[in-house]
Amino acid sequence: MTQLQSHPSALVSTLLDGVDPGPLFTPVEPVPGLTLRNRFVMAPMTRAFSPEGVPGADVAAYYARRAASLGLIVTEGTYVDEPSAGSSSRVPHLYGERALAGWRAVVEGVHAQGARIFPQLWHLGATRRAGCDPVPAAPVVSPSGIDAAGRTVGEPASTATIAAVVDAFARAAADAKTVGFDGVEVHGAHGYLLDQFLWERTNQRTDSYGGPAANRVRLAAEVVAAIRDAVGPGYPISFRFSQWKGGHYDASIATTPDELAQVLVPLTEAGVDLFHVSTRRYWLPAFEGSGRTLAGWTKELTGRPVIALGSVGVSAPFMGAETEGQETLSLAPLVEELERGELDLVGLGRAVLADAHWVKKVGAGRAADIRPYEKGLEGVLD
């Protein structure tokens, strides 16, 4: 891919250049019992449109519009019931009668459109600032009391706090199942709490949660295992992970396939059914000396289906300059990776934020009618 030369409105017309997207529209059952109408997944995107953490009718309508053509919706990150999980009273949470009633309406609306839906379970960890809502008095929870820049943000999490975090994720998953969600996703990416334990820079512990990869993955694996115990067999669990972190795009939790296996295999054994692989550019090789993508390596190492995410349908990578973009948005590489067995599902973020009917228009060969994503429009998009 080369530098961006065209405006996004011109680039969207290149989505179908040289490709038949038909394979992306075939029904699929990535996890037993989870049948999807196509391979497209709406990725989580924080919107902060849920006052007091309760999703309202507007949130239900927002997801239902996109559910009309997508196979699977993964909601915006939802705070688990641990006091330090969040930093905004407008981001939804997954606990309490009012919030669960709001989510039930969201689920019903998505199901009415023929799609499936997972909530993403979220704890910010050290990215939370002290004194923030919804629980201003709560301390900042992190592996080692530092953030990604090495600044002190509090005390290292105690084993009691770690146990409380595990319990909070499990309760949220059980509530999600009761509400009617089709599965759950655990947010272990982008520099948030579980990822802070995975990453050596933010995890400098010397106990059983720190040091080698087998220890750093322990919290995430305990969370997954507790969720599995709470929801029982056959209920899908997705785990989202990334190499990059917010503001640290060159970060990595693994520099070789062997190191990646040390992280992913314990998660698989704990109960993960599906991995959501978040990259900034889905087509790039994961490791030097190999042409295989991070999604491809994940599937190879775990045997689990994968969602590949990273600049599908948009001109530039997340939080990147327009000069980092590409000259074509053709879906040909996606189809090629699907045929090579490197991915099962395709994550869409900003593309479906900008145009709720993106999938439908691509399927109908109407790429030129798609509303392109452009920076600065987030506050007005529906």
Which residues are part of the catalytic machinery?
192
The closest of 23, 11, 42, 1 to 367, measured between CA atoms, is 11
Which tokens belong to 14? 């290149």
Which tokens belong to 345? 């599902």
For CA atoms 295, 76, 322, 315, the dihedral sign is positive
Quick check: helix, strand or coil at residue 270? helix
CB atoms within 10 A of CB 8: 21
Backbone angles phi, psi at 119, to 5 degrees: -85, 150
| Neighbour-count burial for 173-197, b at 16+ CB within 10 Å, e otherwise | bbbbbebebbbbbbbbbbbbbbbbb
User: What is the C-alpha separation between 236 and 14, in angstroms, rounded?
Assistant: 35
DSSP for residue 24: G
CB atoms within 10 A of CB 283: 18
Asked if residue 232 lies in contact with residue 290, where contact means CB atoms within 8 angstroms, the answer is: no
User: What is the C-alpha separation between 141 and 153, in angstroms, rounded?
Assistant: 8
Backbone angles phi, psi at 211, to 5 degrees: 95, -120
Backbone angles phi, psi at 48, to 5 degrees: 60, 45
Q: Please report, for residues 258, 283, 308, the alpha-carbon distance to residue 278 in angstroms, rounded to integers and kept in the order given.
A: 19, 12, 7
Backbone angles phi, psi at 33, to 5 degrees: 90, -10
User: What is the C-alpha separation between 101 and 95, in angstroms, rounded?
Assistant: 10
**What is the secondary structure of 271-336 as a DSSP string?**
T--EEEEE-SSTTSBSSTT---BHHHHHHHHH---EEEESSTTSSS-TT--GGGS-S---SHHHHH
